Amino acid sequence: MLERYYPNVCVNRYDEIDLGELKKNGIKGLIFDIDNTLVATHTKEPDFELIKWIDYVKSLGFKLCIVSNASKQRVELFNKKIGLNSICRAVKPMKFSFVKAAKMLGLRPNEIAVVGDQIFCDISGGNKAKMLTILVKPIHKKELWFVRLKRVPEKFILSKYNNFKNGS
């Protein structure tokens, strides 16, 4: 039952994702959450380092999309400098926004990896949509109160995931 919340891959930061390994496994597109995945929640725009990394990922031929539960204003402001396909008010973990993103990218679900910091939104939604899921550690401790509440059961699930992954 908990397996539906398990990511396929865990990394510390978005820039630690093994893009070569993804390509080797047939991944052609990436769906990103914004808040605490690419930037801290209180950061309005991508920094130079992130812009450079996004350009690099694009240069490798990956198709990219943002899927965020944030407002249209938040997503548009963040996306202004990087110009990715985007979906706001995504109602994650519902899978319809992930399916819509796949259509926007012109890819099948098994050709897409979802990158996010929240098990109950990003990972669960990506798993429901039959996409590869990559969990990143939250960038910053400052989070909305309801996100902080979800971190407690997330720790439990991650402990079970680590036992599962290590064969215990």
Can you give the residue ranges of every domain in the chain? 2-165
Nearest residue to 43 (alpha-carbon basis) of 158, 140, 148, 121:
140
Residue 29, φ and ψ in degrees, nearest 5: -140, 155
Does 55 score more than 80 pLDDT? yes
DSSP-based three-state secondary structure for 19? helix
Percent of the chain with pLDDT over 90: 73
Q: How confident is the model at residue 155 (pLDDT cuts 50, 70, 90)?
A: confident
Q: How confident is the model at residue 145 (pLDDT cuts 50, 70, 90)?
A: low
Q: Is the pLDDT of residue 81 over 80?
A: yes
pLDDT of 26 over the 80 cut: yes
pLDDT grade, residue 42 (50/70/90)? confident
Using the structure block, give the residue that is written with the tokens 């899921």: 133
Residue 138 has pLDDT above 60, yes or no: yes
Q: What share of the chain is helix, strand, coil (3-state, %, to 5)?
A: 45, 15, 40
- AA identity, residue 19: L
Over residues 76-94, the mean pLDDT reads 95
Radius of gyration, CA atoms only, the chain:
15
Q: Where are the beta strands (DSSP E) in 7-165?
A: 9-11, 29-32, 63-67, 85-87, 112-116, 132-136
Q: What per-residue confidence (pLDDT) applies to 2?
A: 73
CATH topology of domain 2-165: Rossmann fold (3.40.50)
Residue 22 has pLDDT above 90, yes or no: yes
pLDDT at position 161 is 63
pLDDT of residue 168 exceeding 60: no
Q: Please enumerate in sequence order all residues whose Cβ is within 8 A of that of 50, keeping only pairs 6 or more positions apart, or say none.
A: 14, 38, 39, 82
pLDDT at 24 over 80: yes
Interval 110-119: pLDDT, tens: 999 999 998 9
CB atoms within 10 A of CB 140: 13
Residue 54 to residue 37: CA distance in whole angstroms? 13
- pLDDT, the chain, mean: 90
Q: What pLDDT sits at residue 158?
A: 72
Helix and strand element counts for the chain (H, E): 6, 6
Q: Give long-range contacts, CB 8 A cutoff, 24+ apart: 59-62.
A: 60/19, 60/23, 61/23, 61/28, 62/19, 62/22, 62/27, 62/28, 62/29, 62/30
50 pLDDT higher than 60: yes
